[in-house]
Structure 1
Amino acid sequence: MAQTRDLDLVIRHVLAGLGHGIHAGRERGAGVEFSEYRAYAPGDEWRRVDWKLLARADRYFIREAERDSHVAVWLWLDATASMAEPSRDINGIDKLWFARTVLACVAAIAQRQGDAFGLVICSDGKVEFTPATRGPRQLQRVLAQLNKAQPLGGLPASEVLKAHLHFARSPSVIFAASDFLDWPSPLSEALQRLRRMHHDVRLLTLRTQAEMDASFRTGSAYRDPERSTGLHRLTGVDRASYRAQSRAHFDGVVRACRQSDIVQREACIEQPVVEVLRCWLRAAGGSGR
């Protein structure tokens, strides 16, 4: 999986591994009501064609349906420079690869369930949106944007993010993937504000195994990619202090999420994607939504 950039292939592999623990199929019958007809477009499912209308109009039309809940799914990707941190154990994997892969799988589940879904990307001080809508073509748009994301710069300013929160006017579920090395931050403030607006907010905190157990090579020099503060060297004496400060930071993230009633899960990017995805979705309610 680490050697391919074909998100379609990765999604098929991961969702096949979810088994029966999460229902990812489209729900039909009760709770789904007819909304309108629209013209057939390449990629639409043939089972949604209205064959009786075809016989009368000699054209293909798709029956659109709406759910009673009208909940939109939003995927929020942190694509700042720190997300370029690679695994020291698995070639080809970094935090951004893992984040985009997990979010792509959530998008595929939303598409299969008939939910509207959109994408928010924070990178290089900017915010980029893909508006929420339904269907297989939307999935391809979202995957294309996820593939294009590059780990650059820092987070947008608080004012910038606050001005863009209009995207979640209707009830929404927000899946946000980041390393959350900055907390509090403009990103954490925006997510907490969305929760206060009664949206369902679910965070995935990503770390490398080296970050979790301080298994960096002794004497190696590191530079913060989002700040020009010089080089930092980690010696054997520093490891205990690093572990303590790191754990204190992420314990603070957990406490803040609990206080805000935000679902939060921590994952190591060396873990199997299917394992992390199953844990994240079940922690959020076990329905795959």
Structure 2
Amino acid sequence: MAQDTVQDMAHTLPPEVTEAHSLADRMPALLLEAQRVAHTVTYGTHGRRRAGPGETFWQFRYFDENDSLSGIDWRRSAGSDHLYVREREWEAAHTVWLWTDLSPSMQFRSALSGTYKDSRAAVLALALCELLIRAGERVGFLGHAPMTGRHATRRLAEILVRESQRGGSLPPAAPLSRFSECILLSDFLEPVAETAKAVETIAAQGVRGHMVQVFDPAEETLPYEGRTEFTDTEGGDRVIAGRAETLRDAYAVRLRDHRDGLNELARRLGWSLFLHHTDRPAGEALLSIHNRLAGLEQSYQFRQPTGRGEQAS
């Protein structure tokens, strides 16, 4: 009797509340997965190292005619035929903004993948936060203040659970610092014009960005056959196809046109667009995103975990 009552109460809860509970239930496991995925991406030291004002020694380089004589390191130069300049590392922290689409369309997992789209997006956001915080950067979620310190990833997890109650399909308008970077994780299934309006608002603030399209493999190939019912996860509309396989070609054309629109948007703004399928290892996407973010393609490598777990492609 009590069990039936609990089930009846669950059915009466608003969808956004049950989604939030679902993400909250999954979050401890997602945090552990994010930490594991972050450890598969290794980097030498600071992913954004470059010369500039600071106290930490970075490297020696040859003296050139544009350098001041006072910058010569005479001790290092004494044992060589060349003059050397001591460079320090620029220690100004950078801000990276994250946004994760937690709308109902992200609450999808087909038989071709063992991972929900929102779970994968959350893992990527948390793993990116972990890597960036280790590198001394500030990480913020759109609409929230940037974070630093070793507890930032856990605080981001708490923000994701709260944000799941709102479930917006597009990034919100938020004031961002100029020269910062923004990473948007979504299936980007909204009309391209609506997506463009939201993304252009971010880019207009002088922000460099990256769009990560998280897709279930079934959304890419439409593998269904025979009589199939399709349900709109956000609007609730239902369509029954007598032979789903006959829709495949038209679907592929429409999906290609939609993605071409996203690619054109990214190209026009000088942003990047990544496609990630949830049946692939999260480490692949994390590596690609973080390499582009750091701008040091050769400084990173994907390490294949030993034993059970994801395999590098």
TM-score (norm 2): 0.67
Alignment partner of 1:245 out of 237, 242, 254: 254
Q: Which runs of 5+ in 2 are unaligned?
A: 1-25, 57-88, 300-313
Distance 2:45 2:289 in 1: 14
Alignment partner of 1:130 out of 144, 168, 176: 144
Q: Which runs of 5+ in 1 are unaligned?
A: 35-65, 121-128
Amino acid at match of 1:116: R
* Equivalent position of 2:268 in the other structure: 259
Distance 1:171 1:270 in 2: 34
Point out the structure with max Rg over C-alpha: 2
Alignment partner of 2:113 out of 73, 80, 90: 90
Are the counterparts in 1 of residues 52 and 90 from structure 2 also a CA contact under 8 Å? Answer: no
Instruction: State which drifts further: 205-214 or 82-91.
Output: 82-91
* CA positional deviation for 1:32: 4.2
User: Following superposition of structure 1 onto structure 2, how do residues 29-44 of structure 1 map, counting pairs within 5 Å?
Assistant: 31-32=53-54
Distance 2:55 2:240 in 1: 59
Please identify which structure carries the higher strand content: 1
Task: Quote the sequence identity (%).
Answer: 20
Judging changes above 3 Å, is the alpha-carbon distance between structure 1 residues 114 and 28 closer, same or farther for their aligned structure 2 residues? farther
* Equivalent position of 2:125 in the other structure: 103
RMSD between aligned residues: 3.2
Distance 2:158 2:27 in 1: 14
Instruction: State which drifts further: 81-90 or 222-231.
Output: 222-231
Give the 3-state SS of the residue equivalent to 1:79 in structure 2. coil
Amino acid at match of 1:115: E
Amino acid at match of 1:87: S
Deviation per CA, 1:116-163: give whole Å up to 9, x if none: 11113xxxxxxxx3311211233221122224553765536x9xx3xx
User: Following superposition of structure 1 onto structure 2, how do residues 97-246 of structure 1 map, counting pairs within 5 Å?
Assistant: 97-120=119-142, 129-150=143-164, 154-155=168-169, 161=172, 164-166=173-175, 168-233=176-241, 235-246=244-255
Distance 2:270 2:238 in 1: 37
* Equivalent position of 2:103 in the other structure: 80
Distance 2:219 2:209 in 1: 25
Distance 1:270 1:151 in 2: 26
Are the counterparts in 1 of residues 139 and 147 from structure 2 also a CA contact under 8 Å? Answer: yes
Judging changes above 3 Å, is the alpha-carbon distance between structure 1 residues 30 and 204 closer, same or farther for their aligned structure 2 residues? same
Distance 1:181 1:277 in 2: 21
Distance 1:28 1:136 in 2: 23
Are the counterparts in 2 of residues 72 and 170 from structure 1 also a CA contact under 8 Å? Answer: no
Are the counterparts in 1 of residues 211 and 273 from structure 2 also a CA contact under 8 Å? Answer: yes
Residues paired across the two proteins, number: 240
* CA positional deviation for 1:31: 4.7
